[in-house]
Structure 1
Amino acid sequence: MLTGVGTRILAGVGVAGAVGFLLVLDTGRPELRLVTKALPMLCLLLWQWPPRERYAWWVFAGLGLSLSGDVLLEGGPGMFLPGLGAFLLAHVSYIAAYLTVTRGLQAVRALPFLLLAMSASVLLWPSLGAMALPVTAYVVVICTMSWRATALLGASGLSHFEQRAAFAGALLFAASDGLLAIKLFVRPLPGASYAIMLLYWAAQLSIALSARGPRTESVSAAHPLAS
């Protein structure tokens, strides 16, 4: 993995790309939006290379799928569904990463996200039309990803910092997607795109941070109902 100067260069390029995208978010040319939007995720992927074990490989796959989603969503309204699909698969990859650490059921921790999925579906359903099924599936998957990130807390296999990073990333991702869903399907939210992107990048950075160090494979995974 990159260290020192290489990490600082990637961080600088990623931040420059993020700032550039925010500057052209509403008025920029499509090709400039595409390049600047892709840079932060591309830098995270390079920073993660090479992944060291299963957890890091699944996170790497999620970052790559997220980059694909970013690119697809810049292709116009007709590319929304493929972009949504790429991000859904990214969340599935993060779920798979978290399951390499623990498969403990953690039913109590699942309850808030079950309620969130139900509430979001009820709120969004009347406005979704033909997008009802794919958006509802996406809501279920991201809430599952958040639940599995919560299940990491206190599990063996990740350091306390890495557990908190994965958990924070899941919550930030859910907040970003929640704002986006309200903006797209419920009512316009002027200026929300800036918050959506900042939350999104913070989420991806947090998840990437959880995969930077070597670790032992899951101990609690040996018992599917471990607490």
Structure 2
Amino acid sequence: MDYTEMLTDNRFSVIAALPRNDLALAEAALEGGAQAVKVHCNVWHRASGNTFGTFAENRTFLRELIALCGDVPVGLVPGGEDAYINEEERLELEEMGLSFFSSYAQYVPCHMMESTRLSSMIAIGTDYTQNTLDAVRASAIDVLECSIQPGENYGTSMNYADILRYSDIAAKTAKPCVVPTQRRIRPEEVRHLAAAGCKAIMIGAVVMGGARPEDVKRATAAFRAAADAV
């Protein structure tokens, strides 16, 4: 299934960002009702505290993950500040059947935006401005990840000022907007994100309550039920 079309067509969706590259966690997310699964390579991840290996080290895992997920879109954060996949590796991921890539805009090599097979989910951070939103609206970005919380807010409760900011971003960019759980968002708060015009929540380590398969399945099921009730 095309990732961008899935987000556009659904009223609200749940994406599972796995706290580590583990097929058992992916299977648990699918059992919980995840509508997309995202993993990482070449990065240190603040929320989970994990370092994810290189593309070469994750090649077999990625092939197995894509096969496991079937029609459920699989995405990859292919790098960050210190390392990133090259164009040859991007083409290999396309052939594997990867659905989308996800990165902060400042780390994305231009060749990634040349892909005609991968949906682009580009993240804006704490330093975004109204000019940024104008530029996003006019850009080739498919999906916008609203990673706008500073590090000191990780794991804290969401408030209505956050909702107003997400609403402003969604309205001004006119892109499908995904909110990652940098804040400790609760399932019952999903309806506020949907009312703000956002299209999905991307749940990760902050709200999973642990990194065991049962933790991932439980959290995913709770957020999927909330999303289905929107």
TM-score, normalised via structure 1 length: 0.25
* Structure ranking higher on relative contact order (CA contacts 8 Å, 6+ apart): 2
Question: Between Structure 1 and Structure 2, which shows a larger proportion of helix residues?
Answer: 1
TM-score, normalised via structure 2 length: 0.25
Question: Between Structure 1 and Structure 2, which shows a larger proportion of strand residues?
Answer: 2
